[in-house]
Structure 1
Amino acid sequence: MSTLSEELLAIIVCPDCHGELAVDEGQTELTCQSCGLVYPVRDGIPVLLVDEARKPS
């Protein structure tokens, strides 16, 4: 399993609201700290498409 680099996490933002993204412990999802959308991480690659994001529950 690949891990997301700190450099990548420092520059990517939520494509919907441009908020900061936080990675979960398993590094399988990124959660926007502003709007709450949850983006999947597949094979170590963040899928930053609003259509692929899960709405906050």
Structure 2
Amino acid sequence: MAEEPGSPREGHEAPQADPKVLEMLVCPRTKTSLYYDAARQELISRAARLAYPIRDGVPIMLEEEARQVDEEELRALGRR
């Protein structure tokens, strides 16, 4: 069975992204700061409404790899 990209192998934890590196990153589209969602392993741009994945501890800062973030999810982020 093929593994999903970015999914940890059974019995292995996925590498964690370096928090210092994450603090330096900005959205490639808007150049605004990003919110780190540790549970989903994503960097979220509120301004662009995009969530960039983090795979094996590496942020994938490509718009074509990002998913759209809906209004409800943005509101939930505002409460965090």
TM-score by length of 1: 0.82
Per-residue CA deviations over 1:2-52 (Å, capped at 9, x if unaligned) read 222221112111111111111113251110132221011111100000111
More helix by percentage = 2
CA distance in 1, matches of 2:69, 2:40: 18
Question: What's the secondary structure of 2:38's corresponding residue?
Answer: coil
Higher relative contact order (CA 8 A, sep 6+): 1
Structure 1: distance between partners of 2:52 and 2:60 = 6
Aligned match of 2:16? 3
Tell me the percent identity: 33
Number of aligned residue pairs: give it.
57
CA distance in 1, matches of 2:40, 2:16: 7
Q: 1:42: which partner in 2?
A: 55
Please report the TM-score for the alignment, with normalisation by the length of structure 2: 0.62
- What amino acid sits opposite 1:19 in the alignment? T
In the alignment, structure 2 segments of 5+ residues that lack a partner are 1-13, 71-80
The answer to whether the Cα contact below 8 Å between 2:16 and 2:56 also exists between their aligned partners in 1 is no
Alignment of 1:1-57 (within 5 A): 1-26=14-39, 28-57=41-70
